[in-house]
Chain A
Amino acid sequence: MILAGLSNLSGISTLAMAIGQQITMKHIVGTWIAAFLTICIFSFLYDDNPLYKFAEHLFVGVSAGYIIATTYRNVMVPNLYGNIKTGVMILVKTGSFQWQYLSFILAGVMGIMLLMKLVPKFNWIARWPLSFMVGTASGLGIVFTMEALVLKQVDATLVPLLVRTASNSIQWSSTVQNWFMVLGVCSGLIYFYFSKEHKGLFFGTFSRIGIYVLMMAFGAAFGYTVMARVSLLIGRMLFFRDQWWPVFKATFGIEG
């Protein structure tokens, strides 16, 4: 029946649907595949099964293939081959070597060295570009992380503990909020201070408050995680409602 519907559609070539889209044969086949794979993935909720495994492996394979192809086309071709080619052309035409192109040759060589990881006999060669990458990332990470994630964040906690309005009266909402934030940050840090036992009036009380602050943060994170996972489900259901259902009707010739 599906095949009959599809062959019927291929004769028409396109259909104008209620949702305002032109539904083509490519669209119909793509939507049916997407619907089938979505159900395959959701079938895991009932139990592990071969259909789920098939969809999972297909997803991993297609993703890896897509990333390799995109990186080759968008990064290696214009940024590596393109620049090396320009350097070689200049060398051939003028006879002088432009030193700025050396960095691209070095990057290409290091890329090839990294691929040596695949050859067991020469996999030690891959350690050199890897150590270069680790060193660069660490150097950049330390400098920028310190400024953006430590100093700026500390700066953001240096807030007035008594906020006044323009008429010099106390603005209670901001004052309470600032107290809560400063106490929350300090007690959270005290909880992670391990050189002193968490006992007594100061360390005992504040580390206890620190736990509550952390629990609140975990609660917020959990709530947002639930929202994210539900959003993914909503996304697939919207796909079934807005994209698959019109295609289903077109496939089986259902009107209305």
Chain B
Amino acid sequence: MFEKLQNLDRRWIFLFVLLSVIIPLLFPLGLKLHTSPPVEDIYNYIENLPEESVILVSFDYGPSTEIELNPAAKAVVRHAFRKKIKVVTMALWPMGAQMSQNVMKEVAEEFDAEYGRDYVNLGYKAGGSVLLLSLKSGFAQQFPTDVNNVPLSDLPLMNKVKDYNNCALVVSLSAGVPGIREYVLIVNTQFGKTMAGACTAVTAPEMYTFLNSGQLMGLMGGLKGAAEYEKLVGIEGNARKGMDAQSVVHLVIVLFIILSNIIYFVGEYRRKRME
């Protein structure tokens, strides 16, 4: 038995992890979810913005990280539309433009928001930091048209929003580079714009340093951060749906780590005794 456990096929672990995800999704446990200050800060900031303010939301991710960042995007945009705040979106990642299209279409239908008046999708542009730097002299210079190749001058919202100065908040939904780091480097540090971010869990530890230094006013880290924002906005999105499974899997992984350490040390002890 002990030897079997020592040489356990890792596919058994995969199976346990799979079951730990599937079972809570089929039979939700309703575990409690607490909100944290970095997420509350974003919520409170948007909550206190006056009507008709404009926020810039940058979709810096692709379909591979959709599960972590789409819920955050939907929650922020829902919150903005509920408060009658205008939303301008752009993307530093090629696939971000389509992510933005999908999210905005879904949320805009819910709030009866009109394209061009309540929100605009500027689409994708290459360049990362260089692009962000050049946007200081106006969005129209780098984005002569929106994602559908409509000139910005034909969109009423873009007649009011010329550059960063017209945006009350910049939110980067980031899965890597370019993303929050580039926004902090250019938009926050150089132009002094208030910034918030949502990032994948993998990049969250790096992003928390920006939160600590005040370069980010708030941060949603991974699915957990998105779930917290969904809770604050009062919606049952994909992030909240997945949190039961997330908690159960983490518990299973912790148990596996403890078990494998016990097996390792007992094995070592037995080996030494045999010698």
Interface residues of A (CB under 8 A from B): 45-46, 63, 66-67, 70-71, 73-75, 77-79, 82-83, 136-137, 140-141, 144-145, 147-149, 152-153, 155-156, 217, 220-221, 224-228, 230-238, 241
CB contacts (< 8 Å) of A70 on chain B: these are 94-95, 97-98, 124
> Which residue from B184, B221, B223, B224 sits with its C-beta under 8 Å from A148?
B184
List the A side residues contacting B130 at CB < 8 Å.
136, 140
Residues of B near A82 (CB, < 8 A) are 144-145
Does B116 have its Cβ within 8 Å of any Cβ on chain A?
no
Q: How large is the interface on B (under 10, 10 to 19, 20 to 34, 35 or more residues)?
A: 35 or more
Return B152 CB to nearest CB of chain A, in Å.
10
Contact between chains at B68 and A230 (CB < 8 Å): no
* Binary contact track B1-24/A, C-beta < 8 Å → 1, others 0: 000000000010010011001100
* A contact patch SS: helix
Contact A234 B245 (CB under 8 A): yes
Top 7 A-B pairs, shortest CB-CB distance: A235-B67, A156-B213, A228-B201, A148-B189, A234-B242, A227-B201, A70-B94
B274 proximity list for chain A (CB < 8 A)? none
Cβ of A156: which chain B residues have Cβ within 8 Å of it?
209, 212-214
Set B18, B94, B95, B222: member contacting A227, Cβ < 8 A: B222
A237–B189 touching, CB < 8 Å: no
> Total number of A-B contacts with CB less than 8 angstroms?
138
Please give, as numbers and ranges, the residues of chain B lying within 8 Å of A67 by CB-CB distance. Answer: 94-95
* Any A CB within 8 A of the CB of B123: yes
A141 / chain B contacts, CB cutoff of 8 Å: 129
Instruction: Say whether B186 faces chain A, with CB atoms less than 8 Å apart.
Output: yes
User: Besides A67-B95, A156-B214, A224-B221, 20 other CB < 8 A contacts?
Assistant: A45-B14, A63-B62, A74-B97, A78-B143, A78-B149, A144-B190, A148-B184, A148-B189, A224-B202, A225-B202, A227-B201, A227-B246, A228-B200, A230-B17, A231-B200, A231-B222, A232-B64, A234-B25, A234-B242, A234-B245
Contact of A152 among B94, B123, B133, B213 (CB under 8 A): B213
Residue of B nearest to A219 (CB): B205
**B250 CB-CB contact with A under 8 Å:** yes
What is the distance, in angstroms, from B28's C-beta to the closest C-beta of chain A?
Answer: 11
A231 to B242, CA, bound (A): 8
A156 to B209 Cα, complex, angstroms: 9
Question: CA A165 – CA B221 in complex, angstroms?
Answer: 30
Contact with A along B143-186 (1 / 0, CB 8 A): 11101010000000000000000000000000000000000111
Q: A148-B188, A228-B222 are contacts. A238–B95 as well, Cβ < 8 Å?
A: no
Given contacts A67-B94, A225-B202, A230-B21, whether A79 and B125 have CB atoms under 8 Å apart is yes
Q: Give the Cβ gap from A173 to chain B, nearest Cβ, in Å.
A: 14
Q: Are A231 and B246 in contact (CB under 8 A)?
A: yes
Task: Name A76's closest neighbour in chain B (CB-CB).
Answer: B126
Nearest opposing residue in chain B for A153, CB measure: B213
